[in-house]
Structure 1
Amino acid sequence: MSSSKTFRIERDTLGEVRIPSDAYYGAQTQRAVENYQISGRSLPRSFIRAQGIIKASAAKANMENGLLQPSYAKAIIKAAEEVVDGTLDDHFVVDVYQAGAGTSQNMNANEVIANRATEILGETLEGNRIHPNDHVNMSQSTNDTFHAAIHIAGAENIVHRLLPAVQQLHNELKRKSIELMPVMKSGRTHLHDALPIRLGQEFSGYAETVHEIYHQLEKATDYLYEIGLGGTAIGTRNNIHPQYSEKVIKEVSRFTNLPFREPVDMFSFMQNTNAPIRVMLVLKEFAMHLIKITSDLRLLSSGPRTGFAEITLPSVQPGSTIMPGKVNPAVLEMVHMVCCQVIGGEASVTTAGMAGQLEINVMMPLIAHTFLDAIELLSNALPTLVTKCISGIEAEEENCKQWMNASLGLVTGISSIVGYDRASKIGMEADERKISIQQVLEEQGLLTPEIEKALDPKGMV
């Protein structure tokens, strides 16, 4: 993190540690940096923000309860707010894959805030200092704060980013379904000819699928509002003021403007990671639907000369380094990749959720990273899908009409008149001779006004 060539010496329970002079973090963070050089990735900005919210809220609650002197509390709150704002992000340096349950990450926050608060008070890092454990971590444990930070970061990102993005996608698909409703085309089942359908009807199906996911996501997010601050190490509320939990959660709610509340059962909260698991299941289902929708759009736009070519997509970039003029469905492919990552993430969160023993789940850093990454990926991908693809889709009406009129599925319209078996033979003959259903009927003298009406695609939708 630091380019400084000067260091200071700090001590923890294991002895002396050499730390870059310009780093706000301390000995335990430095040990984690040296021990866990695994992925080169830190936990997301949204998680670090949530840590800052918790530390500021805890300092205020402890001050109001008379446990933390006001000068220390105010300095800690100011430093924690800088964490919330992202000013101190460069000092959060612990790898995602770290000591179980996130002890290193919690100490990273405690040390950064303690040292910055000490500086705010006008003290030097070598002098009279605010203590990371005694003051910044007062009334807390890694076990309740890390878990709560996952919920806070997840809820904020879903409410402020993902849900609006899902709603935007639904609105655009709905608008597009209305725009494309006049366009008739062939339906397909098993990728083979089926009854006619309106292009707008296909899009209305996509829109309603996304709309349902929106409601499922809203419902699942409600579980994230349970945060067990004050549970401390194992849920027994050890070393806290009787009013601490109520006050700290109230302050988190004020800070975020979200309805956080105490868990129904503190021990269940401490033992399990239910809320991220439930939300990830919704995100996995959403990813599955998005893969289906984007795959459909790739099929419908395939060609432009050798595929269905029933719709055209906006051209956003050249598609080949060797084939001049080729344009691929790049945005749809990007979304598909994002969805594959989200589906894999759900499996990761599920297996990590099974890895808890007794009073705590030690896999929370992995859950935090994977869970928040899935929300971030979808929050970024959906607006791109809407603005660079969905909103610019246009119908190729002539191609739609051509495929529809050639479809063997039209024979279904006369099966109630001539019978299923005879209709099957007519369809099979048309297929074998590569001619239309109408031609076969005309040759057999069956093209009556009643049959012609039954073959009209508009009467079938």
Structure 2
Amino acid sequence: MDASSQYRMENDTLGSIMVPKSAYYGSQTQRAIDNFNISGITLPRVFIKAQGIIKAASATTNMAMGTLAPDMGKAIVQAAEEVIEGKWDNEFVVDVYQAGAGTSQNMNVNEVIASRATELVGGTQRVNPNDHVNMSQSTNDTFPSALNMAAAEEITARLLPVLNKLQEAFQKKADQFMPILKAGRTHLHDGVPIRLGQEFSGYAETVNTVRQQLTERLDGLYVIGLGGNAIGTKVNLQPGYIPKVMEEIRKRTNMPFREPANIFSFMQNMNEPIRCMLTLKELATHLIKITSDLRLLSSGPRTGLAEITLPPVQPGSTIMPGKVNPAILEMTHMVCCQVIGYETAVATAGIAGQLEINVMMPVIAHTFLHAIDLMANAINTLVPKCINGIDVNQANCERWMNESLSLVTGLSPSLGYDMASQIGMSADEENKTIKQILMEKGLLTEEVIQAIDPKGMA
């Protein structure tokens, strides 16, 4: 087939360019395809949806203010709603590593909506991507607004619910395991007794604390700067546009989005993505600690601590028959490593803001939203495939507890620290329990027995 049957010629300020005939996107999107063949990764559906919501809300507002003709405006709204629904997802093709600030991404959406809206008005008039779809807008205010909207949706709909499930799962195990006494450990060496349920209650509260922090961060994402236009001065904007478009956004999202206290600060900085990523980094840090604990507690089954057992999910070795590894915990740890790296990427991109705008917004959007997605997916797998199925090996818990040298800690109030230390060292050197040494020294009175009773110590 010749080029004329496959492509159409489009023109923009840089000249002519060939665009596939079947594509709804236009010249600027095609230039981005040609210029930024970098990763093959595009911004996620939730971001495209947010952009569609902004375009529909803006067109509705512009019609209400009399700056956009009703027939054209209604077509734009319908086309934008089709974008919101995901009907044209395959038309959003700009790589995340693209021209600064996301101009190409914004034009991709503008061009797709304009082409579809032109169809909807029957081709009697051409809907212009800039003049009509982008009316009262700029990339510089809509891109960060779409990012905050997308992140707010993802955190509300996906991440907070799975964090609730994780906290509840740990709390359920804490309640289940509270009767189980075991050896505590500090520096990976013998520590005073603890209840297994107490360990798990710590995990539950750690998750709960981060969940609360993320809920607080969510409020900051409700700040969006629509109407700031190029640099916050609201150039080319009709009076009254901002409150009207904000109301339309709230109506379409059922979320309490609001204007920033200072529009210039919003335009200059990536405040909330940076702050939210710090909270995600903290979550990742805690989950690495927790999953590492669970790997230690389940280590073995014959040569490790083996105080808990994990549900087996798949074979663990290509050479050692029957070996089963803590696969879900390892996966979660890897995801957390990635999220910690992502926080550095967002912070570094945040530093790159200059004067009235941060041009690194596309990579911040990709990294931030992908971090939320990864964490939600990992936790949504961790809970049913691992945490819910954890069981206890009570015999091992009792054995390690009874052999722990730190039981001697209970003797310090009555015998003194130095005498207790000597008893502990003797037990270690002679490979005996604390109780055996006390018996040999004739010190095993009823008072001493109570002092080293793990139940009392825990």
Shorter-chain TM-score tier: over 0.9
Partner amino acid, structure 2, of 1:401:
E
Instruction: Give the Cα–Cα distance (whole angstroms) in 2 for the partners of residues 73 and 168 of structure 1.
Output: 43
For the residue of structure 1 that corresponds to 2:147, the secondary structure is helix
1:386-435: CA deviation from partner (whole Å, max 9, x where unpaired): 00000000000000000000000100011111110011111011111111
One-letter code of the match for 2:277? M
**Distance in 2 between the 1:329 and 1:116 partners?**
50
SS in 2 for 1:320: coil
Whether 1:212 and 2:199 are equivalent positions in the alignment is no
Distance 1:85 1:429 in 2: 73
- Which amino acid in structure 2 is aligned with residue 100 of structure 1? G
Partner of residue 40, structure 2: 40
The alignment partner of 1:275 has SS state of helix
Question: 1:225 is matched with which residue: 222, 227, 251?
Answer: 222
1:333 aligns with 2:310: no
Report deviation, 1:128.
3.4
2:180 is the alignment partner of 1:183: yes
CA RMSD between the two structures: 1.1
The reply to whether residue 350 of structure 1 matches residue 344 of structure 2 is no
Partner of 1:76: 76
One-letter amino acid matched to 2:141 = D
**Structure 1 residue 9 corresponds to structure 2 residue 9:** yes
Q: What corresponds to 2:143 in structure 1?
A: 146
Partner AA of 1:101 in structure 2:
A
- Cα displacement string for residues 110-167 of structure 1 (whole angstroms, at most 9, x for unaligned residues): 00010011112222xxx73100000000000000000101100000100111111111
- Paired residues in the alignment total 456
Q: Which of residues 295, 311, 314 is equivalent to 1:298?
A: 295
Is the 8 Å Cα contact of residues 68 and 135 (structure 1) preserved in structure 2?
yes
Find the counterpart in structure 2 of residue 404 from structure 1: 401
Matching residue within 364, 367, 383 for 1:367: 364
Corresponding residue number in structure 1 for 2:85:
85
Indicate yes or no: 2:48 matched with 1:51.
no
**1:258: which partner in 2?**
255
Measure the CA separation in 1 of the matches of 2:399 and 2:335: 35
| 3-state SS of paired residue (2:432) | coil
| 2:415 counterpart (405, 413, 418) | 418
Q: Kindly tell me: are residues 361 and 297 of structure 1, through their superposed partners in 2, closer, same or farther at Cα, counting changes over 3 Å?
A: same
Alignment of 1:373-388 (within 5 A): 373-388=370-385
User: What are structure 2's unaligned runs of at least 5 residues?
Assistant: none
Residue in structure 2 matched with residue 18 of structure 1 by the alignment: 18
What is the alpha-carbon distance in structure 2 between the residues aligned to residue 101 and residue 35 of structure 1? 16
1:110 and 2:110 correspond = yes
Once the two structures are TM-superposed, the CA of residue 4 in structure 1 deviates from its matched residue by: 11
Where 1:278 maps in the other structure, the secondary structure is helix
**Which residue identity is paired with 1:312?**
T
Deviation of the 1:458 alpha carbon: 0.3
CA distance in structure 2 between the aligned counterparts of 1:94 and 1:172, rounded to whole angstroms:
40
| CA positional deviation for 1:455 | 1.1
Letter in 1 for 2:57: S
The secondary structure found in structure 2 opposite 1:140 is coil
Q: Which secondary structure does the structure 2 equivalent of 1:163 belong to?
A: helix
Match status 1:202 vs 2:202: no
What does the per-residue CA deviation read over 1:297-331, in whole Å, with 9 as the maximum and x for residues that have no partner?
A: 00000000000000000111111111111111000
The amino acid that maps onto 2:313 is V
Q: 1:346 to 1:5 in 2, by over 3 A?
A: farther
Contiguous gaps of at least 5 residues in structure 1: none
1:31 aligns with 2:31: yes
Contact 1:5 1:20 in 2 (8 A): no
Per the alignment, residue 132 of structure 1 pairs with 129
Alpha-carbon distance in structure 1 between the residues aligned to 2:239 and 2:298: 63
- For 2:30 and 2:295, how far apart are their aligned partners in 1? 49
Counterpart position of 1:438: 435
Letter aligned with residue 265 of structure 1: N
| 1:279-299: CA deviation from partner (whole Å, max 9, x where unpaired) | 111110010000000000000
Q: Distance in 2 between matches of 1:251 and 1:163?
A: 25
Which of 232, 236, 245 matches 1:235?
232
Q: Distance in 1 between matches of 2:397 and 2:120?
A: 69
1:280 to 257, 263, 277: 277
Counterpart for residue 170 of structure 1:
167
Moved over 3 A (4+): none
Q: Which amino acid aligns with 1:373?
A: H
Contact 1:4 1:22 in 2 (8 A): no
* Aligned sequence identity (%): 65
**8 Å CA contact 1:25, 1:115 repeated in 2:** yes
Question: SS of the residue aligned with 2:312?
Answer: coil
Code of the aligned partner of 1:176: K
Partner Cα distance (1:85, 1:449) in 2? 74
SS of the aligned residue for 1:193 comes to: strand
> What is the CA deviation profile of residues 28-54 of structure 1, one whole-angstrom value per residue up to 9, with x for unaligned ones?
000000000011100111111111010
SS of 2:166's equivalent? helix
The answer (yes or no) to whether the contact 1:4–1:20 under 8 Å persists in 2 is no
- Which whole-Å CA distance do the structure 1 matches of 2:399 and 2:371 have between them? 42
Matched residue type, 2:284: A
